[in-house]
Amino acid sequence: MIKIIKYFLIDIIKNKVILGLTLFFLVTSFSLLYLDENQTKAVLSLMNIVIIVVPLISMIFAGNYYFNAYEFKEVLLSLPVARTRIILSEMIAVSISLALSLGLGLGIPALIFGAGSTILYLILITMVLSVACAAIALLVVILSREKSRGLGLVLLAWFYFSLLYDVIIMTLLMNFSDYPLEKFVVFLAALNPIDLCRISMMLKLDISALMGYTGALYKEFFSSLIGSAFTLGTMLLWILIPTLISIRIYRKKDL
């Protein structure tokens, strides 16, 4: 298993896309922290960029890599290696490279400028988010037969989680504003990993006052220990469930 993860990692690094991504995160994070005197504001800008860009990049990267490594997987499959191990190894290798790329790209500038716990938390949660997005993308591409359709669906998934989902929730809240929906909204947030991460980051930044009523409830819930455990646990589920479904499907898939 470790052998196969290693070969996937070598293959990913040879691809050089991941190096470009690391450089991109490095430049973004460096310039934001350098330009803004006020670190909280810099972190806020960084969060706004990261919350849109990281899911998109992670999903496209994971989806694209699945098709890029198609031949490689075919070669591995003609060897005495179980399918479960192959697809799990790919998922782990993609996760490691995305998390490392983010960790280094965002982390190095943060360390240079003397980062507080807020930015470290932001980096950590972004890494978890990128892995969850990769897991979702992998599931989407395994379900689709060809590359163009697969990547199209990945984009659609990103669009849904980043924009569409919020619109739906907004509409819901507007129409049912007479009812006490606050607790229900916390539950709804858990159904979208991007939203969950965004809320969790915002609360760390202490700008929840901007979010009005719901913000107060969020603050109360998410900053408690149970809230943190809830965020972490839900994110882990967002990684585990798509991965397990992917494995199940891949085991019985015609190649």
CB of 170 to other proteins, least distance (A): 42
Cβ atoms of residues 135 and 239 within 8 Å: yes
Complex with other proteins: residue 73 or 204, whichever CB lies closer = 73
CB neighbour class for 35 (10 Å; exposed up to 12, middle 13-18, buried from 19) = exposed
**Range 143-181 burial, b when 16+ CB lie within 10 A, else e:** ebeeeeebbebbbebbeebbeebeeebeeebeeeeeeeb
Element (H, E) at 203: helix 193-204
State which residue, 5 or 53, has the beta carbon closest to other proteins. 5
CA dihedral 12, 14, 18, 19 (to 10 degrees): 150
Of the pair 81, 172, the CB lying nearest other proteins is at 81
Q: Looking at beta carbons only, is 84 or 228 nearer to other proteins?
A: 84
Minimum separation from the CB atom of position 155 to other proteins (A): 24
Q: Which residue number, 4 or 125, has a Cβ lying nearer to other proteins?
A: 4
What would the two tokens of residue 17 be?
A: 């896309």
CB of residue 17 vs other proteins: minimum separation in angstroms?
11
**DSSP structural state of residue 212:** H
CB of 11 to other proteins, least distance (A): 7
Contact positions vs other proteins (CB under 8 A): 3-4, 7, 10-11, 14-15, 69, 71-72, 74-83, 252, 254-255
- In the bound complex, what is the minimum distance in angstroms from residue 83's beta carbon to other proteins? 7
Q: Which of 128, 129, 62 is nearest to 90 (CA)?
A: 62
- Complex with other proteins: residue 7 or 113, whichever CB lies closer: 7
Taking Cα atoms as reference points, which of 133, 143, 141, 135 lies closest to residue 69? 141
Please report how close the Cβ of residue 168 comes to other proteins at its closest, in angstroms. Answer: 35
